[in-house]
Structures are given as structure tokens and as C-alpha cells.
Amino acid sequence: MAEFRHLENGLLCIAGDEHLLLTPWGTNSVRVRIARGHMPVDTDYALLSPGPQAPALHIDDGEASLSVGDLVCRARQHEGGVHLRFEDRSGRILLDEWSAPGPQRHRAREYRPLPDGSFKLNVAFAGCETEHFYGMGQYQMDILDLKGCTLDLSQRNTQSSVPFYISSKGYGFLWHNPSIGRVTFGTNEILWESESSLQIDYWLTVGDTPQQISSQYADAVGHAPPMPEHGLGFWQCKLRYSSQDEILRVASEYAARGIKPDVIVCDFFHWTEMGDFRFDPAFFPDPKGMVEQLSEMGIRLVVSVWPTVSTESENYKTMQKRGMLIRPDSDGLYSMFFADQKTLFYDTTNPEARDFVWNRIRDNYYTLGIRDYWLDVAEPEYSVCDWSRWTYREGPGLQVGNLYPQAYARNFYEGLRSEGVEKPISLIRCAWAGSARYGALAWSGDISSTWESFRIQVCAGLSMGVAGIPWWNSDIGGFSGGDVRDPAFVELLIRWFEWGAYCPVMRLHGDRNPHHEIRHPVSGKVCMGSGADNEIWSYGDEAYGIFRKYLDRRQAMRPYLRSVFDEAHRTGVPPMRPLWYVFPDDPLCTNLRDEYLFGPDLLVCPVLEAGARERRVYLPKGTWTDLETGRSYAGGSTITVPAPLDVIPVFRRG
């Protein structure tokens, strides 16, 4: 028999050794926690405290209901357990637990005990043939509607698992569980799987529009901070500027051409040893003076930080002794082998480790005037990617591994706020739920310089925005494989650059061929090399003219960008919006993945095929004006528009 109890913070259902706690958690939202053998525990991995709420609660013989605004949660006794169903106010079923029929069926909730006292968990909900799913973060696939997909819930270089989706049925769902696992969005079932967890934990919200759902989700996990002014402009980057002189030469050349990048990025291996968190004085003899010279030109310096601590680092022994490094399950196992160095990642889930690292960053970078950081390898990127072999302060890697990038962003956000920085953002290579509130400006990692990869990034950016990560960008031109001497790559770079003008942050980066060797000026040792030049004048006169055109266009958009970014900060509505998000009743928008709205008024249609000089564009309802030609078109139709090499089709609403 199931027992239902009215608690001060919601509804408790007990059936055998299973305890189900349903708690109001924000407007039209509920949090569900289910544990075996004990009461569910309160974790704050991503969800913020919702404050006191007074739900409508009704308990009857064998069943109970809890109503929070427009969301109704129904719990009923069912075959020795408790069955959960979620409806809107009209009684329409949003999500319904599902058990497969048959004598050996799997149940909606399955627990397989593990030796450490945790469980391998499965949670299943009934599928719906007409339902569509969007969000879930960044996966390298040219897919927007996730129906039929199975996704790994794990972090990788180029992959950010952010387990929140919006359904075409009008609800949003957060899997509030940082464990390693997977999810399947099938027609027969939606199946969540965890490799190791102490309890089931998820959050559900309902809304009349996707925008309302995004806002309620942002309220639950935290809003992105305001985008600072330098986030609106152009970021210059390459692998890698190896010295102070090189950075200042690039900045001076931009100034001579009458161009002001908002940011120049100083990439990795500018340091002494990995984990020292400071400049190598042989290459950067006066970093404070460098920052001041850049500032006089109106340019901010962003500095790369890796979480790797080499066994040769001056900080390694102290951090290892004090438990500030992620712990392997055996001696001699290291987190990452890179450039002939053995390293362990610092444990971002450990508050003491976060304080230690921020103190080094403050002393060695912040005091020089550096306020912005590039948090690379943020997944973290294990050389031996077996999550069961690593232990964090927060728990075993299998249980909490996906939390790492969020805690990494938190480290720098809290450090910068403690120093009085009002709008901290950090360029970071991965994200999880709640990362946005810590100023995470995610990028899509070390992607290839190919047309296929270019097409994928459009879906990646849109899915990240829907998953609640509004500040996003990709390496313009891709990271690896581009050759500055190859006309085919230059065409790809031009098209990517045009699209970059209509991404939340416009950042040119890449590891370009051909490479060149760098030697240490003191020791003579061969250092980490550098790719070819990657400035806008590095690709010939035709490309340079096109790059200038879109830099001017980005500059002219700044008032519009401020408005769009302010809306994202206040409401959680992302700058990059899939067409289904704005026009959910238009069936032609359901899986339209090669065009999107940038803010409320700009329809962006990147050219994603080599050699293309025109493209087909679907115009949703309304009137749309081509920014290039000034011609207006009625919506609800598909047109073909010219797209010469210097044109990305963009239409203004109205």
C-alpha cells in the first residue's frame, strides 16, 4: 500500500522502501526526488532555492495531486508502487511514467545496486509519436529535433551535455543529475539512464510558449549575467600568440588599418609550467605594460587558463598534498598527458582548490589588469576517459563528473566578483546546467575546418541556447585542418566569418597550417609551436574586403545587440532562436535547422555549401526585408535569393 503525506514543502509518497518527494519549485514548476531506503536529499547542483510556495494539494484514497500554477502532478498507487503523471491545467498529459507490458517488463523506475551503495538508475516516460524535443546542449550532429536520438550524458571536447530540453507539448524538463549516463528520445519511450546515482532528481515546468519555459528555467537555475560591452564586438585569436611582441604587433597592425578588435586572446603555453598559472618572463617580460598598451588602443586581453597541473609545476606538491587535485584510482595514472607532461586536473568541485587557484590567478594575472579568462579543457578532457577511475571532492566521477565545467566557471565568476568586477564572463569549452549564471561563454571546442562541421555548429549553437546557455560561439573557420594557402579553405572561412557576425560572440580562431617552430629564448628548448597567421589580412585582398564589411556590420549592430543581450540576461530567451521556438504552430519550422532568428527581428540564413552563390530560404509569417537588397517579401513562402561570396542572406522582420 502506498502512503501519501502532506508536508510543508510538498507531497511525500511512500511505497515500500521508495520515497517520492514532489516539491513546488518556481512558477508552474515542480521538482521530483525519489530515493530508496531513505528520504530524498537536497542537492544544489544546478537548481536554486525557489522560496516558499503554497501549492494546491489533494489526497484521496490511493492517490494524490499537487498543483503548482498551470502544472498538475498526479501520484497514484499502482502495483505496489506509485505512478507519476504530469498534466497541464486543462488535463492534457505532458509526461507520463511508462512501464513496458509483459511478465518480465521493465518498470518506469529501475534501481540496480552498486557496491558503493549507489544505484544504476533507469527512469522511463511514455513516448508520443508527434512530440518533438529541443535543447540538451551541444552535440556534434546536424540535428535540431532530437526525436529518435540517443545522447551520451557526458562531457567531451566539442560536446557539452546540458540535460534540459523543451518539448513541443509545452513543457521543459531538467535531469538534475550530474552523473554519467544517457537519454533516449524514442517514439515508444523517453528513457533516462544513470551509471551511478544516490537518487532520482528532475525538474519540470509548463508554459504557453517556449519563451515562457526558458524564462521559468532561467529563474530555476540562474540567469546569465549581463553581457559586457567587449562581448559585442570582434575577438581576434589564433593558436598561438607566443610572445608579448607578437600580440602588440598584431594590435598595432589593426590600429594602423583603422580597426579596433574588442579582444585579443593569448592562448595556451604562454606560461612557465602547466599549473604555475603565470606568464613566462622570457616571452612576456612586461605583461602589465602589454595590458596597458592594449588598453590604450581600446583592446582587452583574454588569457588562456588550463585546469591541468603538471608534476613539474611549482604548485603540484602543495595541491596534491592538500587534496586539491582530482584523485585517480591508482598511482601512476594521470588525468592528461600533453606536450610530454604528466598532469592532474585541479578539482573544481573542491572549494579549497577553487580558492587556491583563484589566488594564483589574482596574483599573476588580475593584478596586471587582466579581467577576462579563457577556461580551456573544461570538460575536463581525460587522456583515459573512464569516469569510474576518477574521484572528486563532490563524489565519484560516475556520479558527479558532468558538474566539472559548471564549477570551473563558478571558480572564476566568484573570484572576479570578489574583486568587484560587475559583469564577469569567461570563455569556456564546456557547460552544464547552471553554468550560465556563472558567466559561461561557451564555445564548441576543437572542431574541424570542414563544411560538415560548419553546418553542425549552427545546430549546436541553437541547441545550447534552448538548453539555457545563451552566451555561445564557435571558432570562426573551425579549429583544425585549415590551410591559409588553400582557396577552398578561404571560401569556407569567409562564409563562417559572415555567419560569425550573427552569433552571440564573433571570434576568429584556429590552428592554421602551415605551422612554425618556436624555441625558448633562454634554454633554446623547442616549445609548443604556432599555427600560421590568422588575422583578417592573412587571406588575400578579396577575403580582407569581405571581412571588413562584416566587421563594420557587427559594429553597426551594437545597439541591437545590447537590446538582444539584455533580453537574454533578464528573461533567459537566447539570442539565437530556432524558428520553431518563435513559430511553434508552423509545421515547416519543426526541424528547420539551417536558418534562425538572431534576436526578435533578424532572420539569418548562412551559406553552408561550398561553391553556393544562392540559397533557398523559408520565410515564416510576416513581412521580411532583405538587408542586402532592401527588397521586401511576404512570409509563409520559400524563396531563392542571390548569395554571392560577400553576402549572407539576412532578413529584417517588418
Residues marked as catalytic: 376, 379, 446
Give me the helix-helix angle, 244-256 and 287-296, nearest 10°.
Answer: 10
DSSP per-residue codes, 350-410 = -HHHHHHHHHHHHHHTGGGT--EEEE-S-S---SS--GGGEEETTEEHHHHGGGHHHHHHH
Q: What is the CA radius of gyration of the chain?
A: 25
Residue type, 4: F
Signed CA dihedral, 137, 306, 374, 323: sign only: positive
Question: CB-based contacts of 446: which residues, under 8 Å, 6+ apart?
Answer: 157, 158, 475, 479, 480
CB 197 within 8 A of CB 456: no
CA–CA gap between residue 42 and residue 64 (Å, rounded) = 23
Question: CB-based contacts of 118: which residues, under 8 Å, 6+ apart?
Answer: 196, 197, 198, 396, 399
CA–CA gap between residue 596 and residue 578 (Å, rounded) = 5
Identify the residue whose cell numbers are 565568476.
Answer: 413
The secondary structure element, H or E, covering residue 287 is helix 287-296
CA 496: distance to chain centroid?
20
Question: CB-based contacts of 72: which residues, under 8 Å, 6+ apart?
Answer: 65, 66, 86, 87, 88, 89, 91
User: Is the omega angle on the peptide bond into residue 514 within 30 degrees of 0, that is, cis?
Assistant: yes
Question: CB-based contacts of 444: which residues, under 8 Å, 6+ apart?
Answer: 138, 140, 158, 457, 460, 461, 472, 473, 474, 475
CB 308 within 8 A of CB 335: yes
Set of cell numbers at residue 16: 515500500
Separation in Å, CA 284 to CA 211, 280, 350, 365, 429: 47, 6, 31, 12, 25
Residue type, 343: T
Residue type, 99: S
CA 348: distance to chain centroid?
17
